[in-house]
Amino acid sequence: MTQTLSSKVAFVTGGGRGIGAAIVRRLAREGATVAFTYQNSAAAANELVAEVAAAGGRSIALQADVADAESLTRAIDTTAHQLGKIDILVNNAGVLLLGTLDDFTLEDFDKTLAINVRAVFVAAKAAVPHMGQGGRIINIGSCNAERMPFPGGSAYAMSKSALQGLVQGLARDLGPKGITVNNVQPGPTNTDMNPEVGDFAEAMHGIMALQRHAHPDEIAAMVAYVAGPEAGFVTGASLTIDGGFNA
């Protein structure tokens, strides 16, 4: 495979597992040096670093709480200091908290916003000073930004819809700097957060054109495209990869 991201430096939030880990592997395979954050599982993060190294790539794991602006900013600044720059920012860290209006707590509402929205803004604000022409900001949104067919997901859907407006605005702000800003919006994806088996998965498959979950590698492939040179004219977009969930 041609390494389209050779000499690039990527920073991925929530890269220790699930979709984030798949993105770390794919960007490293494309030639990027990848720094990624994890919150709790140092062992899993270190295993991923070793896996990337065994495949001939380079990655760095940093412990950070993305809901803490100082912690997240420090991780980004540390990466830029150690590696000289940041070319690609992938805001992958997210939280899925469900509940109807009568039982969804204000604490869970605030946590949803802090991780799914505020952290994206904080990371972009911290990373842009370390970016040059051709920089990429990529957010992992959700197809639920456009369709929430089940009860209990209002706060989550709202948080992912907010990214659409944020991306459109930031694309205008950062276009003169030659930096593109986009969302990748997955549908159901087989991770610990949303496993492919179980009653809830079957209900989701029933409304999809392709009646299965995505593999995390399929989402990572879309991210790699948006991060690469062929997507230089794509900005302000929300690119849905959902197996027809929203069709």
Which sequence positions are flagged as catalytic?
Answer: 156
Q: How many CA atoms lie within 13 A of 133 on its CB side?
A: 1
CA distance from start to end of the chain: 33
* Whole-angstrom distance, CA of residue 155 vs CA of residue 231: 31
Query: Could you count the other beta carbons within 10 Å of the beta carbon of residue 203?
Result: 11
Owner of token pair 């798949």: 22
Let me know: does 224 contact 138? Beta carbons within 8 Å.
Answer: no
Let me know: does 20 contact 89? Beta carbons within 8 Å.
Answer: no
